[in-house]
Amino acid sequence: MAARALSLIAGLSVAGLVIGPVMAVLWRAETFSGFGPADWQALRFTLMQALVSAALSVLVAVPVARALARRRFRGRGVLVALMGAPFILPVIVAVLGLLAVFGQSGLLNRTLGPLGVPRMDIYGLHGVVLAHVFFNLPLATRLILQAWLAVPNEHFRLAAMLGLGRWAMWRAIEWPLLRRIVPGAFAVIFVICLSSFAVALTLGGGPRATTLELAIYQSVRFDFDLARAAALGLLQLVIALAAGLVALRVAAVPVAARGLDRAVPRWDGQAIGARIADMVWIALASLFLLTPLAMVALNGVAGITTLSASVWQSAGHSVLVALGSTALCLLWALPLSTRWGEWLGLSGIALSPLVLGIGLFLIVRPFINPFEVALYVTATVNAFVSLPFVLRILRPEAEIIRIDYARLRGALGLSGWAWLRWVLLPRLKRPLGFAAGLTAALSMGDLGVIALFADPDRATLPLKVYQLMGSYRMDQAAGAALLLLLLSLGLFWLFDRGGRVGSAS
């Protein structure tokens, strides 16, 4: 009974967090008179950058994933592991690294400038697309690589025995694989780019490069036009829901391929031209992904010693927000680690964080100054946004534990608290640590709702980095970005490592 009561309480609180802010936004949007030319331009730019970003990410990921699937070399495991970096990498840190490479005074312009090559401007549509490809190329590569590795090596052996050439093998094995995987990967990345905020905020570069999320932020932060922000938020919500449904529709279920699970050599791509092409794709992808991070580290080492007290105070705020959002997310996730709970948690993907933030702003405004609760609202929104990922991690393990230990629980008459303490938590320790680390890292690097509410005394570290960039104090911004990167990776490592120590599984 206690477990059911906790599930009911958690479910009602999550549902209330969704319905309450949305209703507040709907109520406020009644006074909206209509969309203007700038709003429609923001919609067009949002759809355009999402389409181009998703298409480029997937198109480049196909040859990179193919090369990684059929080549073995020293450091391959580290490079493949790097493909998970976008999930824990703070957006503002990556943007600063891209500026260090592709910006006006970046590495690329300094190198090519003396050769007479025109200087590259990273701001605008191409800058937003470049950043989104940087974030989503690893994700697309991992999705396609996972499917490619699932093809039994016996299929390639049979193709070699039949004497199939390169194009015949493409038609028989590779094209059917890509036809199943690529549409789903494209749709998922399109949804991610659709609701991007921090990238457009830092690299948008003017009214013609404004996304819907950025227009919502500008309406609240600068114009205080809550009706327009609410209407834009609803438009963003409708598009996100439609894109999410399309993503679920086109994401085909992979066809099971059976083999003998033997480590047999690959016969395809052994020609010298194919080997060179594969290594070129791997080298270019590695250079594109690693150079901005290396520049952040190099520039930040000198700047970290010049950080002011306000930066360290913001770092403390970010750590507290990350810990608070992690605790709240786990309190929701443990009782909701069921099928219906995961469906409820999926609202964290469909609902824009800015829409949620605006709704909470409208709810608390009659009772308290929203700026005084900025950190609490940020922690709550971050926990809600991380909930779908945490439930996806915990639910499979939790259901297996419930099935395996159902008879033991009944025989011993374990109550809800005893079951939680002696069975569920010890067996869930490993995935629980990973989920906590992921939530903490995502919350630590978030630059979203806090940009709406924060004042100088309550800024988080990502917002502080953005403010330092805006005031052209790039040395301090680099130092703060390095600090943010270290704290994010450190929190992820501590939680993930803690879940592995002495875990029961």
Model confidence over 155-193: pLDDT tens digits?
566 655 555 656 666 666 677 777 777 887 787 788 778
Is residue 239 domain-resident? no
What spatial distance separates the first Cα and last Cα of the chain, rounded to whole Å?
27
Amino acid at position 151, single letter: V
**3-state SS assignment for residue 211:** coil
Q: How far is CA 296 from CA 94, 99, 355, 482, 485, in A?
A: 8, 10, 32, 6, 9
At 336, the pLDDT band (50, 70, 90 cuts) reads confident
Residue that wins the pLDDT comparison between 471 and 327: 327
Is residue 326 domain-resident? yes
pLDDT of residue 55: 93
> What average pLDDT is seen over the chain?
78
Residue that wins the pLDDT comparison between 400 and 302: 302
Is residue 167 domain-resident? no
Is residue 135 domain-resident? no
150 vs 255: CA distance, rounded Å: 10
- Tokens 């495991």 sit at which residue? 77
Q: Each residue of 93-108: pLDDT tens digit? A: 888 888 888 887 778 8
At 440, the pLDDT band (50, 70, 90 cuts) reads very high
* 166: Cβ contacts below 8 Å, ≥ 6 apart: 268, 274
Residue that wins the pLDDT comparison between 126 and 411: 126
pLDDT of residue 255: 44
CATH number (domain holding residue 328): 1.10.3720.10
Residue that wins the pLDDT comparison between 171 and 2: 171
Rg (CA), the chain: 24
Q: Domain range for residue 359?
A: 1-31+307-505
Count of CA atoms in the C-beta half-sphere (13 A) of 192: 26
Question: Is-contact 446 461, C-beta < 8 A?
Answer: no
Q: Each residue of 54-66: pLDDT tens digit? A: 999 999 998 988 8
- Residue 365: pLDDT over 80: yes
* 374: Cβ contacts below 8 Å, ≥ 6 apart: 450, 453, 454, 455, 458
pLDDT of residue 258: 45
Is residue 366 domain-resident? yes
Is residue 264 domain-resident? no
pLDDT of residue 121: 77
Residue that wins the pLDDT comparison between 283 and 204: 283
Is residue 360 domain-resident? yes
pLDDT of residue 466: 86
Domain count, the chain: 1
**Alpha helix stretches (DSSP H) within 365-404:** 374-404
49 vs 260: CA distance, rounded Å: 44
Question: Is-contact 26 363, C-beta < 8 A?
Answer: no
With vertex at residue 292, the alpha carbon angle to CA 286 and CA 293, rounded to the nearest 5 degrees, is 85
Is residue 458 domain-resident? yes
Q: Each residue of 253-311: pLDDT tens digit? A: 444 444 444 444 555 556 677 778 878 888 888 888 888 888 888 888 878 888 888 89
Exposure b/e, 104-114, CB count within 10 A at least 16 = b: eebebbeeeee
